[in-house]
Structure 1
Amino acid sequence: MTKENPSNYKTLQIWIKKGHRMYSYFQECCHNAKNMYNTTNFYIRQVYTGLTQEKELQPLQ
């Protein structure tokens, strides 16, 4: 019996045709998830960059 590394993730890809009645719902969910991921990465990069500079810290806009 082997232990799996807890940092390994399994993903599943499901294709939904544009004609499916749930297509617009899933498209909106994926779009919102992508936007949230990008926003989070932006703030993390801003904080990291601010902490690594010699200048005085300024609030995020």
Structure 2
Amino acid sequence: MRLLAAVPPPSWEPGARPAEFLGAGPPPVFAGFGSFVAGGPEHPSALLVKAFRTAGGRDP
């Protein structure tokens, strides 16, 4: 099995805006559906955003 990951070089630092966002609260959460689409192209995203906000996540 082969694992691939996008790992930046050790010297890399994010720009000012991403660094500010990352430093302003808990680590961000990524959730993806891949190519899954059900109930229209916006439905899964709207459901995910609602669940994320209900759980106390922060918006970018």
The TM-score with structure 1 as length reference comes to 0.29
- Structure showing greater radius of gyration is 1
From the two aligned structures, give the one with the greater helix fraction.
1
Report which structure shows greater RCO (CA 8 Å, sep ≥6): 2
